[in-house]
Structure formats: structure tokens, C-alpha cells
Amino acid sequence: MIKKEDPIKTDVLVLGSGIAGLSCAIKAAEGNLNVIVATKDFPKESNTLYAQGGIAAAVDPDDSPESHFKDTIKAGDGLCNENAVKVLVEEGPERIRELISFGAEFDKKAGVYHLTKEGAHSLRRILHSGDATGKEIEQTLIKRMAITPRIEPLAYSMGIKLVIINDRCVGAILLDEKRNSLIPIKCRAVVLATGGAGRVFQESTNSPIATGDGMAIALDAQIEMANMEFVQFHPTALHLKNAPRFLLSESMRGEGAVLRNVKGERFMEKYSDVLELAPRDVVARAIVTELKKDKAPHVFLDLTHLDPDFVRNRFPTIYATCISYGLDITKEMIPVHPAAHYIMGGVKTDLDGRTSLKGVYAAGEVSCTGVHGANRLASNSLLEGLVFGHRAGKTILEDALSMPKKFEKEIKRNIKIPSLEVVNEIRKQTASLMWQGAGISRNGSDLENLFAELLNLEAIFGEPPFERRARETWNMIQVGKAIAVSANYRTESRGAHFREDFPDKDQLRWKRDTVLIYREGKYIFK
């Protein structure tokens, strides 16, 4: 077992234990590297665990990587990295087969995998395990990690800072939550696989741990970030009083659920020829338009016309969750409202997970491979984590970085931390400000005001705190500022990024990534 009081040496440090981090760790360990998988919570807690709908891949004989490629490019609204998309769709089926060989079970019908359809897909290609696909994948990879030699899990240890010497990362500093102490780790490679930042927004489907920690670490280390303005808002999150914003999978619409306004009218025909299966940004904005028009708190997702037994069997987790709040979805329409769900931007990487800082790699939602462009195609996120996590592990083996000779672990640690009550209030204000200023619909004035307000909240801390909840809140502010400045910089509307003051797409100026570096208090766009 790891003795946390001693400096730790390993080959690879993976921050995060979702699908990307575990895929990377397993591949690196199979190549005889020693790997520590550090997570700030218990190992299974990640956005992967809560992914419902499924994982997209061209595994059906009637499907093809070419078709999957076309759908992904179309959903990305002109901003996808085509080479990255080719990697995703061509390597995806192989990674799925490997996952199945590890023990993952997906739903079958008459001995054949049952594939469902989601928004912007041209045909059924989504493998699923009921409505808890992420849980099945996460459990499978956790079990695989447990039997893979050379992998050491390190729970309740939050990555807070990279150690950099001579323009190379030589390790990282972790915060031991239980002991409230620092853990220095010296290594050949650090992998950022910390997931997304959905909790930066007041309305979010994400796990409570999704506070943008890896993105904040990268910003602090002056690593290039890309497309931070592109945040996907899932159209259908449960909107009941005193209930969490529980995700209602897009596969519900793929199986026939329809959207209705408070008058009971089906409205998507006014916004898209493919109705409820339009890309997520189209559906989310359509819902917001209906809410404003009717001055309503929510719209409804209606499955009451579907066979009750089918609904209960196909969506057991969603059915049980809604029942626990007194709502029978086989008989009653579900109140829904858009919520922050996924960020397409993040730490900029090449096709092999390398970042702009030697020794640092990134994979999964924390990264920006360019696969998703301006708007992620449904169920491509788990596939991205699987494919590019594996590639990052393989690349670390190929790069064969030497163990750094020097490691400076001293770090200034502040003693004064705002009280828990103050921290919680800052956290609440941050999420509220982000929802109001950088939500589904944006404008320059609101974004500038948002940035100023976030600076005020940051000033209450003074400097980065060394306590988990306070550090998470600090990270939310850092990521929020990056989103705000990037959204203000991109003066057009594209995909999930909608500007009221620039409602049109500008192909001449903006068919390119927004690349950002945070240096000495300034945001520099490349």
C-alpha cells in the first residue's frame, strides 16, 4: 500500500477514474509501466457512472464508420477535427469489442445487440445497458483495473498542481482529503482525465464532482486550452421541486417520447424537420423559446403513449427515480428543462493525447481533441473516452519519457480558508452567475459582467485554497472565467454557442478553434 506521508515515485499518474482515465491506466500498465490512478472521491464516482443513453459505434452490419463520421461532422457544425473523428469512428468498434472481452454486457434482443437511436444519428447505432450504460462500463473497467498488475488506486486524493521544471512536467501535488495534507508524486507522465465542468452551472446533470479540476490545473500550468465556449446543454433534465436535475436520456426520444409545451402541444415541428431527434443545441433552444413564450417553468417529455412494460424495462433507472419523486412516467408527462451537460472544449490535445506541455497528457471530457466540434453528437462521449484514453496510454509507452532527475515539491500553502458557509455561498453564486451570464443564450454585455463578478468572488479567497470543497469552488471560478472570456471572444453563433448580439454563423472569421493560454493573469488567444 502507498504510504501517503512519503514522496511517491511512479511511471504514470492518472488523475481521474472515469472511462478515459481507466482506459489509459490499463493500457499503460499492460505495457509494464507502474500507474497510480488518483481520484478525489471513491474510484467509481465519475460522470461515466451516470451516463445513461449508451455508447455509439458502427457495430451493426448495416452501419459503417463512414456513416458515423458524417453524422458526427454534421452535429459538430463545421468545427470538428476530421482526423480526430476518423480515429474515433474507425477505432471505436475495436475498443467496444475489447470492452466486451473485459466483461461489459450490453442489451440484446433475440441474441443480437439491441441498438437504439438518438438525436442527429442517421440510424440506430447506440449500444446500451438498460439506461445505466455508464455504470456497466465503469464497473467493468474498475474490475479490469483490479486484476491488472502495476495499477495502484489512490482514493480521496485531489490533484491540485503540476510540478514543472525546465518546461517539462515532472509530477504533481495532490491534496489528501482525509489527512488534509499534501502528496507529492514524481513521475514520467501525468494524465489529466478528471472529467468535465458541468457543476460550474446552476442547472446541471453532472455528478457533484464535475467542478473542472483538471481544466483549472491546466490553466494554472499555462497549457493550451481550446473551445471553452462550447458547452452543451442537455434538453431534458428532470425539473421537479426538491429533486436533482436528473438526466432523462436522449434515447427516450429515440424510442418515441415527444416534447410538449405547457398547453400540451407538440412543438418541435416548428424548429426541425427531424422533430425531437434534432441536435441537442436545436432542441435546447427550442425548449427555451417555448418557456419564454408561455412564461412556463418547464415543458414536458411524454412517454404515456408507449407500452408501459416497454418503458419500465427499457428505462428502469429513470422509471424508478421518477417513481421515488411520486411521478409515474408511464401515466404522467415528465416536467423537463435544459441543464448543463457536457463541455466540448478543454485541454487541447493532439490525436494521441499529448498537450502543449511535455509530460502531460489528457483524455476524456477534460480534453479537447476536436472530435465534438461545436456540438457533441449524442453518445460519442463515452466512445471518445474509451478510444482516446487507450491512445493516450499507448502514446505514453511509445514516448518512453525518462524519469525526471529533479523534483521540487515545496509549495506555498495558505492557512486562512473562508468558512464552509462562505465557501458554499461563493459556490452557489458562481453557479448562478454562470447560468445567467453564460447559459444557453449569451451576449457580450452579460459575459463582461459575469467575468467581473467572478473576479470579485475569486478575491474573497485571495489565493488557491488547500481544502477540497474550497478548492473545487476556486476551480469553478477559474473555469468559469475561461468560459466567459472565450464566449465573449467568439463573436458568432455556432453549435452550442449562441450569441444574441451575433446570431449568425461567421464562416470567414470563425471556422476555427478558439485556443487560449492563461499567463500571468492574462488570457491570450492564439
Mean pLDDT by 10 residues, the chain (526 residues): 65 96 97 96 63 84 96 95 98 96 92 85 90 88 95 95 95 90 94 96 91 98 98 92 84 92 96 89 91 94 96 92 94 95 96 98 98 93 96 97 82 76 97 96 97 97 92 98 98 96 96 96 94
3-state secondary structure 129-190: CCCCHHHHHHHHHHHHHHCCCCEEEECCEEEEEEEEECCEEEEEEEEECCCCEEEEEECCEE
| pLDDT at residue 50, rounded to an integer | 53
Strand boundaries in 79-121, DSSP class E: 108-109, 112-113
User: Element (H or E) spanning 517, and its range?
Assistant: strand 515-519
Q: Which domains does the chain have, with CATH numbers?
A: 235-339 (3.90.700.10), 420-525 (1.20.58.100)
| pLDDT at residue 2, rounded to an integer | 47
Q: At what angle do helices 82-101 and 65-75 cross, to 10 degrees?
A: 130
Please tell me what DSSP assigns to residue 204.
B
Contact criterion met (CB below 8 Å) for 506 and 491: yes
By CB atoms closer than 10 A (0-12, 13-18, 19+), residue 309 is exposed
Residue with cell 427550442: 286
Residue with cell 424548429: 271
- Enumerate residues 6+ apart whose C-beta is below 8 A from 456: none
Contact criterion met (CB below 8 Å) for 367 and 162: no
Q: What is the pLDDT of residues 438-474, one digit of tens each?
A: 999 999 999 999 999 999 999 999 889 999 999 999 9
Tell me if residue 280 is catalytic.
yes
DSSP bridge partners of 517: 524
| pLDDT at residue 3, rounded to an integer | 46
The cell for 168 is 517539462
| pLDDT at residue 116, rounded to an integer | 86
Evaluate the CA torsion angle 508, 509, 514, 517 in order and state its sign: positive
User: Element (H or E) spanning 303, and its range?
Assistant: none
| pLDDT at residue 1, rounded to an integer | 45
Could you say which of 280, 285, 471, 490 is catalytic? 280
| pLDDT at residue 444, rounded to an integer | 97
The cell for 253 is 426520444
3-state secondary structure 258-275: EEECCCCCECHHHCCCCH
